Amino acid sequence: MGRLVCAAVDATDDLELAVRYDPASADESVAGMPLAGMPVTDDPEAVADCDVVVEFTHPDVVLDNLARWHGFGLHAVVGTSGFDADRVEAVGALWGDGPARCLIVPNFSIGAVVAMRLAERAAPFFPVAEVIELHHDAKADAPSGTAIATAQRIGAAAPEQRRRVEGESSPPGALGAEVAGVRVHSIRLPGLVAHQEVLFGAPGETLSIRSDTTDRAAFIPGVLLAIRGVASLAEPVTVGLDGLLGL
């Protein structure tokens, strides 16, 4: 994703790619890749003069990185997964009321954002919902940030999930994890990219809302929208592209 984002930013007329930063891949050989002549640096100070930093890293390091970018006074667009309510609260406490803005995006796919919004709208009309998310087997966390955000929205819109029987799982985990009262199931397989299905059930009917991302190129329009719009956000910390899309 980092390479895709760098190439996309470099190809625009209104944005300028200033730095490629990755402490794990500094001076890597990227012959044959876009921007092969632009080295990767492991010096975070090189980022300090930018306007916006795009954070596609790992859940283990993202909060420390955001503390550094906030210290530099940068706007941040965050694509790193794993942001549950506690992590978002931690970023809010860090970011405070200064001029810099932080936009945390569970999913940059426009289709996925619309699907999440549709699920939120549908939730009050059904007694129960479950989320199934499927990703490639190199994904570092489960459930996905998109699944967490989707379940939280459903739980807020329909806080009472009403099943006839609250069954017991044997072995543990067979019924999925619970996020905001909503069951969430994670699947990790090679060959997948990013997929999610929300299933709603009611007596005599079901509703399925599914989004499928088959190529990471689908994330680029959302990333560019976030980069262009993050400075205009009203709140210091915002979750999701909904506002920038007018949803």
Indicate which residues carry an active-site annotation. Answer: 135, 139
Strands (E), the chain: 52-55, 75-78, 102-104, 128-135, 177-179, 182-188, 194-202, 205-213, 237-239
Cα angle value 153/227/237 (rounded, 5°): 45
Instruction: Quickly state the pLDDT bin for 220 (edges 50, 70, 90).
Output: very high
Q: What is the mean pLDDT of the chain?
A: 91
Instruction: Quickly state the pLDDT bin for 143 (edges 50, 70, 90).
Output: very high
Span 146-159, pLDDT tens digits: 999 999 999 999 99
CA distance 95 to 111: 29
**Residue-level pLDDT at 227:** 97
Of the candidate ranges 2-6, 149-153, 206-210, 219-223, the one whose mean pLDDT is the lowest: 2-6
Span 11-38, pLDDT tens digits: 999 999 999 998 887 655 444 455 556 7
Q: What is the dihedral of CA 101, 144, 194, 129, to 10 degrees?
A: -110
**Residue-level pLDDT at 36:** 53
Averaged over 214-240, what is the pLDDT? 95
In terms of CATH, what superfamily is 110-213?
A: Dihydrodipicolinate Reductase; domain 2 (3.30.360.10)
Domain with CATH 3.40.50.720 in the chain: 2-104+216-245
Domain with CATH 3.30.360.10 in the chain: 110-213
Span 97-136, pLDDT tens digits: 789 999 999 889 999 999 999 999 999 999 999 999 999 9
> Helix 110-122 to helix 145-157 angle, to the nearest 10 degrees?
20
CATH of domain 2-104+216-245: 3.40.50.720
**Residue-level pLDDT at 116:** 95
Averaged over 159-177, what is the pLDDT? 87
Averaged over 215-220, what is the pLDDT? 92
Averaged over 155-167, what is the pLDDT? 91
Provide the whole-model pTM.
0.82
